[in-house]
C-alpha cells in the first residue's frame, strides 16, 4: 500500500496482515483520485471516510491538502493502525473514531465536502449508505460522495447519482449534492 501523491507522495505503508480489510488497490485508488482532482480542489476540504480499514484513502486525502479527515471504523486494530501511521508521519489532520458506521450516520450532525465509503462487499445495507447520507444532510452543497461496492449492486437510481466507474472488481459510484460549493 502506498500514498500516491501530495505531501506524503510515494510513502510505502505495510499494514499488519491480521487486519480484517480489503484495501482499495493502488490502481483503483489512483484512478479514483484522478477523477476527484478534476472535480474538487482538495485544499481546505473536510472529508469523512466510512469503513476506513487501513486508512489508505484518509491518508491520501490529507497528503493532497485536505483540512481534516474523520475516519470511522468499528475494528479496534484498524483504528489503532490509522492512529499509529498518522503519528509516525506527523499527521494531525486525521481524527479516528471507533464506531459502527450506521450508528455514526444516525447520530452525527457534522457535514463534509467529501465522503468516501468502502463497506465490506458482503455487508447487508450497502445500498442504504448514500440514502442515509442525503437524508441526514451530511454532504455540503456541491460536495461529493463516493461509494465503493461490488458489481452486483446498482446505485444508479439513487438521489445525487452521477456515474459509476469500474476498475477490475472495484466499482465506484459517484454522487453529488446539488448546489454550489462554499
Cell numbers describing residue 103? 450508528
Percent of the chain at pLDDT > 70 equals: 98
Of 161, 1, 125, residue with least CA distance to 51: 125
Does the pLDDT of residue 55 top 90, yes or no?
A: yes
Angle CA(110)–CA(72)–CA(118) in degrees, nearest 5?
110
Cβ atoms of 96 and 120 within 8 Å: the answer is no
pLDDT of amino acid 56: 93
Measured distance CA(176)–CA(141) in Å, rounded: 8
For residue 121, give the nearest of 35, 23, 32 by alpha carbon: 23
H or E, element range at 162: strand 161-167
| Model confidence pLDDT, tens digit, residues 25-52 | 778 889 999 999 999 999 999 999 999 9
Report the CATH number of the 26-176 domain. 3.40.50.150
| Tens-digit pLDDT profile for residues 76-118 | 999 999 999 999 999 999 999 999 999 999 999 999 999 999 9
Instruction: Give the pTM.
Output: 0.94
The set of residues, in sequence order, having a beta carbon less than 8 Å from that of 78 and lying 6+ positions away, is 19, 20, 21, 52, 53, 54, 55
The alpha-helical segments, DSSP class H, found in the chain are 26-37, 56-63, 76-89, 101-107, 129-136
- Residue 181: per-residue pLDDT: 58
Amino acid at each position: 500500500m502506498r500514498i500516491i501523491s501530495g505531501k506524503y507522495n510515494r510513502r510505502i505503508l505495510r499494514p499488519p496482515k491480521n487486519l480484517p480489510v480489503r484495501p482499495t488497490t493502488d490502481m483503483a485508488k489512483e484512478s479514483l483520485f484522478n477523477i476527484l482532482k478534476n472535480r474538487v480542489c482538495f485544499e481546505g476540504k473536510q472529508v469523512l471516510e466510512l469503513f476506513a480499514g487501513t486508512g489508505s484513502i484518509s491518508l491520501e486525502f490529507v497528503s493532497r491538502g485536505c483540512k481534516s479527515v474523520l475516519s470511522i471504523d468499528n475494528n479496534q486494530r484498524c483504528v489503532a493502525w490509522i492512529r499509529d501511521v498518522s503519528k509516525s508521519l506527523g499527521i494531525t489532520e486525521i481524527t479516528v473514531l471507533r464506531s459502527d458506521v450506521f450508528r455514526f450516520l444516525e447520530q452525527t450532525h457534522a457535514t463534509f465536502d467529501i465522503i468516501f465509503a468502502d463497506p465490506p462487499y458482503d455487508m447487508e445495507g450497502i445500498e442504504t449508505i448514500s440514502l442515509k447520507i442525503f437524508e441526514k444532510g451530511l454532504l455540503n452543497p456541491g460536495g461529493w460522495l463516493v461509494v465503493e461496492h461490488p458489481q452486483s449492486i446498482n446505485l444508479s437510481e439513487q438521489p445525487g447519482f452521477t456515474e459509476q466507474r469500474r476498475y477490475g472488481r472495484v466499482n465506484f459510484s459517484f454522487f453529488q449534492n446539488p448546489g454550489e460549493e462554499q
